[in-house]
A and B are shown apart, each in its own frame.
Chain A
Amino acid sequence: MSREEDADDRGFAQFERFLDAWSRRDFLKRAGGAAAFMAFSGGVVEFLQACAGSSNNNTTATVKKGGHIVEGNFTDIRTLNSMLSSDTASNQVIGLLFDGLTNQKKDGTVIPAVAESWKTSSDGLTYTFKLRSGMKWSDGQALTADDVKFTYALAYDPAYKDFASPRRGDLSKYIKSIDTPDPLTVVLTTTQVYAPFLASHGQYGILPKHILGSMDAKALNTADYNNNPTVSNGPFKFVSWQKGQQVTVGRNDSYYGGAPNLDQWIYKVLPDSVAVTNQLKTGEIDIGPIDPGQYDSLTGTQTVARSEFPVPTFTFYAYQLDPNKPAGPLFQDKAVRQALLFALDRNSMNQAIYFGHATAADSVEPPTSWAYKAKPQVLYPFNKAKAESMLDAAGWTKGTDGIRAKGGTKLKFTMITNAGNKQRESSLTYMQQAWHDIGVDATPSLIQFPQLVSQIVDIRTFDVFLVGFNWSVDPDEAALFHSRNTVPGGFNGFDFKNEQVDAILDQALGTLDQAKRKQLYGQFQDIMSDQVPAPILNFTHGIWGVNTRVQGTDFGPFNQYQFRPWLKNVWVTDGK
């Protein structure tokens, strides 16, 4: 045996002795120490949380130039082409890079952007937009009426029919022609009076014709520009998109509104809403949307200011109204639909499930809308006794098993929503209990979101579904409640058909006078409150966390994701 081997054997023996000692004595000591540290740190966190308060966001200190903001959200974007995008995340980043003809304030008022002003012809068919003069793309080329015409042509002109724009249905129906009498004028003629046109279709980010104009429709679908928009016209210009991780945009010095204060804005993709809250705490992100369930956990964090406001989003459940579907016959009687709604204490649902960060709904129009009617014809305050007597009167009487039945059919059905959305899951659990209390057997079932969407728009074998819906500025709700959208692919998957509602919705769309429209939507809300095909449970709140080093943000009901006319004024106090 060599000396080297001897030395190694001694090392081996020492290692064994170390293990002996470690396993017999120190392990317990170490474990005890670790436990003590954990207990200590838990206590400190609570103590710090008790001391802290929230601080305000908008001060009047001198604006600093430079620095960056990291904004967190939990979905990666899909495209940066404004005429291809149909999801919130993509639209949010497109809003950093591109401006459309118009923008909107946080109350929903349409304001000038690329178009300096516009006027509507007396017959309501023609919109004439006057563009700002001297606008430049980020590569220095002039932005003119040709770019605007090109952008809209992508979604209405038959020459681009192979371009996969989700806007084609609407735009090709309503746009008759677009003319550009001079480089700063766009004349858009519509096929019929369509009231929401300006608010709904005026704000698509303008695309550069000098970059994309030579490509055909098919090539545009997969153009490199969609992922790498080298030229833009918004407050920021594109730097990079590391898929699944982040999108980085930088200051656009040739922005027509003047260069923004910040050097960079980074959109960071996070795993979930818990991660958004965690990283707001650690300062890894500066801005992020806060889940209602996470709101209180930020109470102790002094570096994060929260703003909360109602948004045009509602949570609703819909009854299967197609009599040919298994559950269809259960809900044909209006009294059943109304009774089930009376049995739900929506205020306590908001407290228990949304922690108070939602508003119980009485109307189908959100309170953020100018057409909102606070007290429509029929109101549904929680009233269990009334719910039971209504069901009794409608012939649904309790059997020996406590479940109501009528003519041998039990009042028994399944409710679906998407797995992973805690508020929706809890809502179904609550509804199961509340309805069980009045003798109705409703079973929750959770499915994946794309499957839920397929159930709503295609398959439609559901009994009851629960989901949320986001509305834009215009009060038109034909997408959900007009009978023409009961066709496959439409969102009226619960098969609500009411001629009066159809007529009112159509008339309101063809009316430009807002006072007249408001009256029509008032009637609409009254009828819907009586019919309750798809009761609205609540209007959710937008909650945003913003690091206190960030100044100049102004989130509001209509300034959340895509529309942020204040972007260029945002600055950071430490200039970093």
Chain B
Amino acid sequence: MLAKYIARRFLASVVVVLGVTAITLALMKTTSGSYVPGIDLNPALRPDDIARLRADLGLDRPGWQWYATWIWGVLHGDFGHSMIDGSTVMSHIGDRLPNTIELTATAIVIGVLIAIPVGIIGALRHGTKTDHTMTVVSVAGFAVPQFWMGLILILVFSVTLEQHGLPWLPSSGAYSAVNGGDLIDRIEHLILPATVLSFFYISTWSRFIRSSMLEVLSQDYIRTARAKGMSERRVVYLHGLRNALIPLITLIGLELPGLVSGGLVVEVVFGWPGIGKLAFERALQYDYTTVMGVTFFATLLVIAGNLLADVLYGVLDPRIRYGS
């Protein structure tokens, strides 16, 4: 049953990938801009140069023709070359992916480790000052834009601390420009962006766990467990938490594509050389091939993340069955 279910989902995903990439191209084509080689308004660049360079890249042809050529390449495992720098799209993704995974995975782990206890505490002590404080902090986590929080952290923990002669944290990049790249150096660079990104995860997930926990703890079987004289710890963790975590699986499953694209804003603010920043910059420069490659890749991950969450649901919750 499960195999059949996965097979059907896979077929549906082909349609989704085609749709998403076609819409991406259509959107880029309709925004009344185009790839221009001399992006700096270079006076030495002549009109015929611009026309020739565009034609070399197939941009003089209608969008659907370009798309057909692109799909044909993808079916043969060729995502093409970036229009901006001529290197292959796969090499770009390969260069940036480890950085993005490093950042997002760290943020997700921190997020889970903090959100679960915070959510439990909020549920167990709901209505108290502790709960209200956590609610305020969580709402701030949704409400404060990530770019703003990033800038403030840079100002305080990088610029201000440095000017006071105190230990400070680097404000951009994944490692130091000179002699960088060892473990300590990478962790130092990771702290600020991972803090901003995980703050968002903590805010979201802790609220979910809190409400989910509250719901579970009001169930009859919890009352029964307590009535049996079971220790509070067993009631909360064994009977309560396990059931309360099920919705979280969906949320984290949905964050899987975030592993490649989730930290876009954070990556841009902190100059983190990841996939999100790549996609953002290349979209603004109309680097069609790179944007299409990243979109394709991100779409696959969204589908895989959803599928994984659905399958895990079945494993964790015996009430769920995969049928037609």
Known contacts A5-B231, A78-B85, A278-B154; is A470 also within 8 Å of B43 by CB?
yes
- Is there contact, CB below 8 Å, between A488 and B234? no
Answer yes or no: A44 CB below 8 A from chain B CBs.
yes
Chain B residues with Cβ under 8 A from A19's Cβ?
Answer: 121, 125, 130
Known contacts A9-B232, A243-B273, A245-B173; is A41 also within 8 Å of B160 by CB?
yes
- Is there contact, CB below 8 Å, between A490 and B273? no
- Is there contact, CB below 8 Å, between A87 and B40? yes
- Is there contact, CB below 8 Å, between A454 and B159? no
Q: Number of contact residues on A: which range applies? A: 35 or more
Chain A residues with Cβ under 8 A from B271's Cβ?
Answer: 245, 269-271, 275
Q: How far is the CB of A459 from chain B (nearest CB, A)?
A: 6
Cross-interface CB contact of B46 among A20, A84, A162, A169, cutoff 8 Å: A169
Cross-interface CB contact of B233 among A12, A24, A281, A458, cutoff 8 Å: A12
Cross-interface CB contact of A48 among B36, B42, B163, cutoff 8 Å: B163
Known contacts A45-B163, A226-B86, A470-B40; is A271 also within 8 Å of B268 by CB?
yes
- Is there contact, CB below 8 Å, between A282 and B273? no
* A450-483 vs B, Cβ < 8 Å mask (1 yes, 0 no): 1101111111000000011111100001011000
Interface-centre pick from A27, A77, A491 (highest chain B CB count, 10 A):
A491
Answer yes or no: B32 CB below 8 A from chain A CBs.
yes
- Is there contact, CB below 8 Å, between A24 and B129? yes
Known contacts A168-B49, A270-B271; is A458 also within 8 Å of B34 by CB?
yes
Cross-interface CB contact of A485 among B47, B51, B56, cutoff 8 Å: B47
- Is there contact, CB below 8 Å, between A453 and B33? yes
- Is there contact, CB below 8 Å, between B45 and A9? no
Chain A residues with Cβ under 8 A from B38's Cβ?
Answer: 86-87, 166
Residue of B nearest to A451 (CB): B33
- Is there contact, CB below 8 Å, between A480 and B85? no
CA distance A469 to B45 in the complex (A): 13
Known contacts A5-B233, A454-B34; is A221 also within 8 Å of B86 by CB?
yes
Q: How far is the CB of B37 from chain A (nearest CB, A)?
A: 5
Answer yes or no: B296 CB below 8 A from chain A CBs.
no
- Is there contact, CB below 8 Å, between A86 and B40? yes
- Is there contact, CB below 8 Å, between A86 and B125? no
CA distance A275 to B158 in the complex (A): 11
Contact stretch, chosen from B6-14, B19-27, B202-210, B280-288: B280-288
Answer yes or no: A547 CB below 8 A from chain B CBs.
no
Q: Number of contact residues on B: which range applies? A: 35 or more
Chain A residues with Cβ under 8 A from B168's Cβ?
Answer: 282
- Is there contact, CB below 8 Å, between B130 and A23? yes
Cross-interface CB contact of A243 among B39, B92, B124, B129, cutoff 8 Å: B92
- Is there contact, CB below 8 Å, between A454 and B32? yes
Chain A residues with Cβ under 8 A from B84's Cβ?
Answer: 78
Cross-interface CB contact of B85 among A79, A169, A271, A285, cutoff 8 Å: A79
Answer yes or no: B133 CB below 8 A from chain A CBs.
yes
- Is there contact, CB below 8 Å, between A457 and B50? yes
Question: Which positions 151-177 of chain B face chain A at CB distance < 8 Å?
Answer: 151, 154-156, 158-160, 162-164, 168, 170-175, 177
CA distance A284 to B162 in the complex (A): 11
Residue of B nearest to A480 (CB): B43
Answer yes or no: A55 CB below 8 A from chain B CBs.
no
Question: Which positions 141-186 of chain A face chain B at CB distance < 8 Å?
Answer: 162, 164, 166-170
- Is there contact, CB below 8 Å, between A244 and B232? no
CA distance A467 to B174 in the complex (A): 34
- Is there contact, CB below 8 Å, between A264 and B32? no
Answer yes or no: B96 CB below 8 A from chain A CBs.
yes
- Is there contact, CB below 8 Å, between A168 and B52? yes
- Is there contact, CB below 8 Å, between B43 and A282? no
Answer yes or no: B95 CB below 8 A from chain A CBs.
yes
Residue of A nearest to B124 (CB): A16
* B83-98 vs A, Cβ < 8 Å mask (1 yes, 0 no): 0111110001001100
CA distance A48 to B41 in the complex (A): 41
* A262-276 vs B, Cβ < 8 Å mask (1 yes, 0 no): 001010111100110
- Is there contact, CB below 8 Å, between B177 and A169? no
- Is there contact, CB below 8 Å, between A470 and B86? no
- Is there contact, CB below 8 Å, between B232 and A469? no
Chain A residues with Cβ under 8 A from B231's Cβ?
Answer: 1, 5-6, 8-9
CA distance A70 to B179 in the complex (A): 12
Answer yes or no: B182 CB below 8 A from chain A CBs.
no
Q: How far is the CB of B124 from chain A (nearest CB, A)?
A: 8
CA distance A266 to B176 in the complex (A): 11
Q: How far is the CB of A78 from chain B (nearest CB, A)?
A: 4
Answer yes or no: A82 CB below 8 A from chain B CBs.
no
Answer yes or no: B44 CB below 8 A from chain A CBs.
yes
Residue of A nearest to B179 (CB): A68
Known contacts A269-B271, A455-B32; is A8 also within 8 Å of B171 by CB?
no
Interface-centre pick from A41, A68, A248, A283 (highest chain B CB count, 10 A):
A41
- Is there contact, CB below 8 Å, between B129 and A284? no
Residue of B nearest to A285 (CB): B177
Chain B residues with Cβ under 8 A from A164's Cβ?
Answer: 53, 56
Chain B residues with Cβ under 8 A from A477's Cβ?
Answer: 43
Q: How far is the CB of B309 from chain A (nearest CB, A)?
A: 30
- Is there contact, CB below 8 Å, between B172 and A222? no
Answer yes or no: B269 CB below 8 A from chain A CBs.
yes
CA distance A226 to B91 in the complex (A): 14
* B48-88 vs A, Cβ < 8 Å mask (1 yes, 0 no): 11111100100000000000000000000000010011111
CA distance A432 to B39 in the complex (A): 27
Question: Which positions 242-301 of chain B face chain A at CB distance < 8 Å?
Answer: 268-271, 273-274, 277-278, 281, 284-286
CA distance A167 to B50 in the complex (A): 10
Cross-interface CB contact of B158 among A227, A278, A448, cutoff 8 Å: A278
Chain B residues with Cβ under 8 A from A270's Cβ?
Answer: 172, 271
Answer yes or no: B143 CB below 8 A from chain A CBs.
no
Cross-interface CB contact of A281 among B87, B156, B163, B174, cutoff 8 Å: B163
- Is there contact, CB below 8 Å, between A79 and B86? yes
Answer yes or no: A76 CB below 8 A from chain B CBs.
yes
CA distance A200 to B52 in the complex (A): 21
Answer yes or no: B178 CB below 8 A from chain A CBs.
yes
- Is there contact, CB below 8 Å, between B281 and A450? no
- Is there contact, CB below 8 Å, between A70 and B178? yes
CA distance A459 to B178 in the complex (A): 45
Residue of A nearest to B47 (CB): A489
- Is there contact, CB below 8 Å, between A450 and B285? yes
CA distance A477 to B44 in the complex (A): 10
Known contacts A271-B172, A451-B33; is A84 also within 8 Å of B45 by CB?
no
Chain A residues with Cβ under 8 A from B313's Cβ?
Answer: none
Chain A residues with Cβ under 8 A from B173's Cβ?
Answer: 245-246, 268
Question: Which positions 6-32 of chain A face chain B at CB distance < 8 Å?
Answer: 6, 8-9, 12, 16, 19-20, 22-24, 27
- Is there contact, CB below 8 Å, between B284 and A84? no
CA distance A45 to B254 in the complex (A): 43
Chain B residues with Cβ under 8 A from A467's Cβ?
Answer: 41
Residue of B nearest to A245 (CB): B273
Residue of A nearest to B132 (CB): A23
* A311-350 vs B, Cβ < 8 Å mask (1 yes, 0 no): 0000000000000000000000000000000000000000
Chain B residues with Cβ under 8 A from A455's Cβ?
Answer: 32
CA distance A222 to B39 in the complex (A): 20
- Is there contact, CB below 8 Å, between B232 and A12? yes
- Is there contact, CB below 8 Å, between B86 and A84? yes
A/B interface sample: 11 pairs, CB < 8 A: A5-B231, A9-B231, A9-B233, A169-B46, A226-B87, A244-B277, A245-B173, A246-B173, A268-B177, A454-B36, A470-B41
Interchain residue pairs A-B with the least CB separation, the first 5: A489-B47, A244-B273, A169-B46, A451-B33, A479-B43
Give me 15 other A-B pairs in contact (C-beta within 8 A), A87-B40, A448-B33 excluded.
A16-B124, A38-B156, A79-B85, A166-B37, A169-B49, A227-B87, A243-B95, A245-B174, A266-B177, A271-B271, A275-B172, A279-B172, A285-B177, A469-B41, A469-B43
